[in-house]
Amino acid sequence: MYDDRRAAGETARVQEEGADLWAALGYRMQASWALPKVAWLAARDAVPAGHRIAHQADHIAALLAGHPVPTDWSHALKTGYDLLRDGWPAAVLDRLGIDPAILPAVVSPGKRVATVSAAGAVQSGIPAGTPIVAGMTDGCAAQVATAALAPGQWCSALGTTLVLKGSTPELLHDPSGAVYCHGNPDGGWLPGGASSTGAGASLRSSPAPTSTS
């Protein structure tokens, strides 16, 4: 959850230990991102032996499949996945004291990873045998839905936040860290960022309802 700030104290160390990689990828680690939280868990031995980290999409897919499934590189981005080398950054993880074994396997968005199990079908109403396909984070999924994937095309999606996303052939670097790039499964990059202007801000700022007699 973005409002989970427990790892705020880990963020500077995560940024420092992976500074060269984050600079190459165009990121600045933030307290709301997953990797500082994983470092926080690792520092407290909070991941039991034989368990692993799962992103929200991984967890839902595993419930449907009846077994763990790989994650996709879009969900894995904020957990520190190296999109340039297509792998978890072992050296950075080692410096942070994170065992790579607690991190899931990673596949490209769109890859079939499992099928819905009989138990998953009972729980969800989705027919058993239905393919389960690796997805993307919400902003990227919204961009795919608009088909704004050719270089130079941009789109916006208004939800809890306002997300602006585009498509470029080259990896973009924003020194402020506000704009960062996901990988485009078809090649190239999907730069974008989110504003705090959105439904979430509107709900927080709305006056309390009143009633009259």
Strand partners, 72: 107
Residues 2 and 35 in one domain: yes
- What's the total number of domains in the chain? 2
Residues 66-122 pLDDT 10s = 999 999 999 999 999 999 999 999 999 999 999 999 999 999 999 999 999 999 999
How far is 11 from 58, CA to CA, in rounded Å?
24
pLDDT of residue 176: 85
Q: Are 36 and 5 in contact (CB under 8 A)?
A: no
Q: Are 5 and 31 in contact (CB under 8 A)?
A: yes
Residues 58 and 30 in one domain: yes
Residues 9 and 97 in one domain: yes
Strand partners, 151: none
Residues 40 and 126 in one domain: yes
Residues 116 and 127 in one domain: yes
Residues 154-179 pLDDT 10s = 999 988 888 999 999 999 999 888 89
Residues 24 and 72 in one domain: yes
Residues 172 and 121 in one domain: no
Here the contacts of 120-126 (C-beta below 8 Å, separation 24 or greater) are 120/63, 120/64, 120/65, 120/66, 123/63, 123/64, 124/64, 126/64
Instruction: Categorize the per-residue pLDDT at 5 as very low, low, confident or very high, splitting at 50, 70 and 90.
Output: confident
CATH code: domain of residue 6: 3.30.420.40
Q: Which of 84, 106, 135 is the last residue of a domain?
A: 135
First to last CA, the chain: 40
pLDDT of residue 4: 86
Q: Which of 83, 102, 135 is the last residue of a domain?
A: 135
Sequence-distant (≥ 6) Cβ neighbours of residue 105 within 8 angstroms: 70, 71
Q: Which of 72, 104, 135 is the last residue of a domain?
A: 135
Range of the domain at 32: 1-135
Residues 71 and 123 in one domain: yes
Residue 213 counted as domain residue: no
Residues 34 and 2 in one domain: yes
Q: What is the pTM of this model?
A: 0.88
